[in-house]
Structure 1
Amino acid sequence: MERRDFIKLSSAGMGTLMLPVSGVAISADQLLDKPMDVTYKKKLADIALNAAKAKGATYADARIGRYLNQFVTTRETRVDSITNTESAGIGVRVIANGTWGFASTSNMTPDSVAKAAEQAVAVAMANSKFQTTPVQLAPVKGVGEVSWQTPIKKNAMKVPIQDKVDLLLSVNDAAMQNGASFISSRLFLVNEQKYFASTDGSYIDQDIHRLWAPFTATAVGEDGFKQRSALGNPVGMGYEYLDGLEKDKVRVQGANVGYHNSYDMVEDAAAAGKQLQAKLKAKSVEPGKYDLVLDPAHLMLTIHESVGHPLELDRVLGYEANYAGTSFATLDKWKSGDFQYGSDIVNLYADKNQPNTLGNVGYDDEGVKTKEWDLIKDGILVNYQATRDQVHMLGQKESHGCSYAQSWRDVQFQRMSNVSLRPNEKDLSADDVIKDVEKGIYIAGRGSYSIDQQRYNFQFGGQLFYEIKDGKIVDQIEDVAYQSNTQEFWNSCSQLAGKSDYRVGGSFFDGKGQPSQVSAVSHGCPTTRFDNINVINTARNV
């Protein structure tokens, strides 16, 4: 079949990828159908809220959602699949007898919506027999009728499929022409059209867009194979991230290309092909202690696993345990007021208002206006991430605004906010961070990782590794992974680059909960140095 015919005929076959997405198959044109009128959304929401109150709910919220996805996947010179899906419906959450209840429906008629609200109350009433402590919500003042939209410049859903396929196949060609033996490339586009209403008096309409363009290239040599994944970031932006409208790119040490607000995917793929050939010839690392200089495209994952997850309050309290464990950062450490999570230059904060990030929204899924707050201040643990029904456990009166549900049919719960490392107040470059390193390793890109059930002991790999000698990057090396524990690692942080080097990476499909849900979250940081870290050789497993 010719490529153009495939593009015209392809539908929502998901056989090539097990994607965490639900919905019905639609055409690419249907992705652009006009959203439900906001007046009708308000009418349905009021029906749900009034029906819940009539049945005895003391609080209720309704989320009307239309979730759109387009996933394009390619392999070398062919298109593997083009997936377009839509999922729409309403979820109603209530408190009755001091207990949560939830129900949902995809039938958006007044009668069906009212019945869902009544069912949510019935669920709460049934559950209340087992509730020992009533739900306690932090107050939220209703905001009336408001709207928020991801500030995109070019709606990726409107870009023709042909253009997207041409881009991905150009990426594949660039990698193959420069040394890759195989490559798969993908484009993930998400549009969440979400309407939230509550008995607090909020009616919030949000239009959220996210984009991710990953690839994985492989080169085969005489002694085996090597892989390198894309170094671009998943973003809360439109297609301007990929087509060069935002020309804001920073080169880092000649080792890779770091991206602020644009991504030259073809250039990255060409570099990947060349770097794969170098990886096949690179010497294997000698195990031992090294000073590590970590690029933001790598450090973002370490932040995600060793800071973002362990400071989710539900993990700290043990409410979240089966899916990837609890947390070592228990309340007694926070209450002491002097728990040294990191060195005194380590300042980590949560902020869902960071522009172009995956977690950037105006309001969370409880109608709480998003904000910024400190988690680690001058190395000391000062706060967690919590929702309306959790913050009273910290003696706080205001939700942090980090509630999220992956769809209208899922109940919202505490999810990680954007968690980031503040850059140096001095605008130091990556060169400045490297210049005093006598024996070290520079690491770029996220690789394999492992962390224990308390988010404490861990091991991280990467994509690219370069030896540092006497303040200079020298040879490319291979088979690197570092081991540490969260407190030891962050206390070894000795230098940070400044604002001009600060970049944001992220996780597009971050899993949590049972039944499991995915969310998207970003992590920003500058190039950062960590001293005297144990490095093992993964080929020798030492």
Structure 2
Amino acid sequence: MDRRKFLKLAGVGAGGIMLPVYGVPVSAAQLAGNGMDVGQKKVLADVVLNTARKAGASYTDVRIGRYLNQYVLTREKNVENIVNTESFGAGIRVIANGTWGFAATNDLTPDGIARAARQAVAVARANAKYQSEPVQLAPVKGVGEVSWQTPIQKNAIQVPISEKVDYLMEVNNSALNAGASFVNSALYLVNEQKYFASSDGSYIDQDVHRLWAPMQVTAVDKKSGAFKTRDGLSTPVGLGYEYLDGREEDKLHGQTTLYKDSYDMVEDAQLAAEQAKAKLSAKSIEPGKYDLVLEPLHLRLTIHESVGHPLELDRVLGYEANFAGTSFATLDKWRSGKFKYGSDKVNFFADRTQPGSLGAVGYDDEGVKAKRWDLVKDGVLVNYQATRDQVHMIDQKESHGCSYADSWSSVQFQRMPNVSLAPGKEKYSVKDMIRDVEKGIYILGRGSYSIDQQRYNFQFGGQLFYEIKNGEIVGQVEDVAYQSNTQEFWNSCSAICDESDYRLGGTFFDGKGQPSQVSAVSHGCATTRFDKINVINTKRKIS
């Protein structure tokens, strides 16, 4: 199965996005079955390493991957689709003559994988004719044979399909009984079984799990024909099915307890229907300057677009200019050591070790151990996100562990880690924050957005909007979007709630690169206030 052969499904919410699903259709039973034994993977990996070395490679890594997807989509009383796919193969990357070469194969026999290794070296030699300077890899010490698994309580793919369908039907009925006219709900389950080996001496076996439970609820005014929607307020997570069933097993004491990071989709469906109906009669916002109180599931998208992407080093260097833009956060700003990305309260950090996050792994796709590092400290730009062959460009000697490929057939490259805003250090709740606002808007959930190619000028909407006057919420409003630029916006940050309000939000399908790849990433923050931001009315007037 090559990467050009894949399915696409219409998504739920977020504008009906198209979701790529790589692999061949399999049964649910096959999906839940065991893959290749780790010992067999090591034998094949050694074939690659030895073959590439003999062919002239100075460095080699191989990723043997089994990528599993299960999507369950429903609408009202019906199941729209159930998709199970499996993709299995190996990607081989080498350096020969100072230049990268890559080849991939799904022929996982010793002969097949050896042919791919020789092909990767041949590609590198051909590329070397056009290389201006040799690849410089930051050193990574081999870790030997190690393994890592997402710390899940319940493997979502192994939960019976009937149980998942029954759950989504309960979700839909909850919305319909609360007055919704239409409702879509879905489960997206991903399991990446990845084995990485390199000539540095690493043999790393990882089992990565992710889950997303989106929905969209619509309320229609039958008299006028007007309608409003409210998407679910869940977030994609690096967790198992316990995120939805709300229970975890205490193996030490033999008890079952409430899981702290659970999401009640049934309850949210009821609230979504009620709030979508309320939107129909909510007053339209008056444009002007407002203090914005932004909750985490909303602010995570603003972080993603205005902080996560512009601090990707390849974007800063112009490698993404042809497709997804560049970055305003250029090297001269970082080298000055004085560039004010935000106010003194703003501290951004990258972290691929956060439990429950989409970007959590033990090691990246170059065998670099996951870690945490600062990007913006006390408002000042201090670092970027970089891979082994990039860090020398910013005078650093250790990779940040930001390499990722969405498939065994894709070459790994720099991808965003979890990028988060640190919570405030002093005790400060959402109620405290609202009480301190005279004229403002409280915004919840992700909405539409737009940002320029340098990740500087932007506009963001949301799911729910509440007007604040003299320290109190006075009612729901509609047709809200705010406009700013990245530096002005983050320098207007005046308050951040404490750690008790800190939550992760995320995206399952963050696109980048040519050919395009998708990755999953989370962003954490607490509710945050921004002063005197320009708010516009998005309502279209018909003349």
The aligned residue for residue 253 of structure 1 is none
The aligned residue for residue 316 of structure 1 is 316
CA distance in 2, matches of 1:102, 1:14: 26
The aligned residue for residue 243 of structure 2 is 241
RMSD: 1.3
The aligned residue for residue 392 of structure 2 is 392
Q: Alpha-carbon deviation of 1:290?
A: 0.1
CA distance in 2, matches of 1:89, 1:417: 25
- Counterpart residue type for residue 226 of structure 2: G
Q: Alpha-carbon deviation of 1:16?
A: 5.0
SS in 2 for 1:21: strand
Aligned pair 1:199/2:199, yes or no? yes
Deviates more, 1:213-222 or 1:304-313: 213-222
- Counterpart residue type for residue 372 of structure 1: R
CA distance in 2, matches of 1:230, 1:274: 12
The aligned residue for residue 14 of structure 2 is none
CA distance in 2, matches of 1:324, 1:58: 32
The aligned residue for residue 484 of structure 2 is 484
CA contact (8 A) 2:7 2:20 kept: no
CA distance in 2, matches of 1:163, 1:433: 41
- Counterpart residue type for residue 232 of structure 2: A
The aligned residue for residue 157 of structure 1 is 157
Aligned pair 1:377/2:347, yes or no? no
> Within 5 A, what are the aligned runs for 1:513-524?
513-524=513-524
CA contact (8 A) 2:8 2:20 kept: no
- Counterpart residue type for residue 270 of structure 2: A
Aligned pair 1:440/2:420, yes or no? no
SS in 1 for 2:151: coil
CA distance in 2, matches of 1:246, 1:198: 37
The aligned residue for residue 330 of structure 1 is 330
CA contact (8 A) 1:186 1:214 kept: yes
Distance 1:514 1:436, change over 3 A: same
- Counterpart residue type for residue 119 of structure 1: Q
Aligned pair 1:289/2:284, yes or no? no
May I ask how many residue pairs the two structures share in their alignment?
Answer: 519
Q: Alpha-carbon deviation of 1:43?
A: 0.6
Deviates more, 1:517-526 or 1:213-222: 213-222
The aligned residue for residue 214 of structure 2 is 214
Q: Alpha-carbon deviation of 1:324?
A: 2.1
CA distance in 2, matches of 1:22, 1:15: 11
The aligned residue for residue 231 of structure 1 is 233
Aligned pair 1:88/2:105, yes or no? no
Deviations 1:95-142 (A, max 9, x none): 001100000000100000000000000000000000001100000000
The aligned residue for residue 255 of structure 2 is none
Q: Alpha-carbon deviation of 1:246?
A: 5.8
CA contact (8 A) 2:8 2:21 kept: no
The aligned residue for residue 507 of structure 1 is 507
State TM-score, norm by structure 1: 0.94
Distance 1:16 1:470, change over 3 A: closer
Q: Give percent identity, aligned residues only.
A: 72
- Counterpart residue type for residue 186 of structure 1: A
CA distance in 1, matches of 2:414, 2:204: 19
> Within 5 A, what are the aligned runs for 1:89-128?
89-128=89-128
Q: Alpha-carbon deviation of 1:19?
A: 2.3
Distance 1:101 1:14, change over 3 A: closer
- Counterpart residue type for residue 399 of structure 1: S
- Counterpart residue type for residue 145 of structure 1: E
- Counterpart residue type for residue 413 of structure 1: F
CA distance in 1, matches of 2:508, 2:308: 14
Aligned pair 1:416/2:423, yes or no? no
CA contact (8 A) 1:142 1:200 kept: yes
Deviations 1:457-476 (A, max 9, x none): 00000000000111111200
CA contact (8 A) 1:291 1:532 kept: yes
SS in 1 for 2:147: strand
CA distance in 2, matches of 1:240, 1:207: 17
Q: Alpha-carbon deviation of 1:21?
A: 1.6
Deviations 1:284-318 (A, max 9, x none): 00000000000101000000000000000000000
CA contact (8 A) 1:458 1:486 kept: yes
- Counterpart residue type for residue 356 of structure 1: G
CA distance in 2, matches of 1:21, 1:231: 24
CA distance in 2, matches of 1:13, 1:529: 42
CA contact (8 A) 1:65 1:193 kept: yes
Structure 1 residues without counterparts, runs of 5 or longer: 1-11, 248-258
- Counterpart residue type for residue 305 of structure 1: E
SS in 1 for 2:520: strand
The aligned residue for residue 250 of structure 1 is none
CA distance in 2, matches of 1:452, 1:179: 39
CA contact (8 A) 1:14 1:83 kept: no
- Counterpart residue type for residue 99 of structure 2: T
Q: Alpha-carbon deviation of 1:347?
A: 0.2
Q: Alpha-carbon deviation of 1:319?
A: 0.7
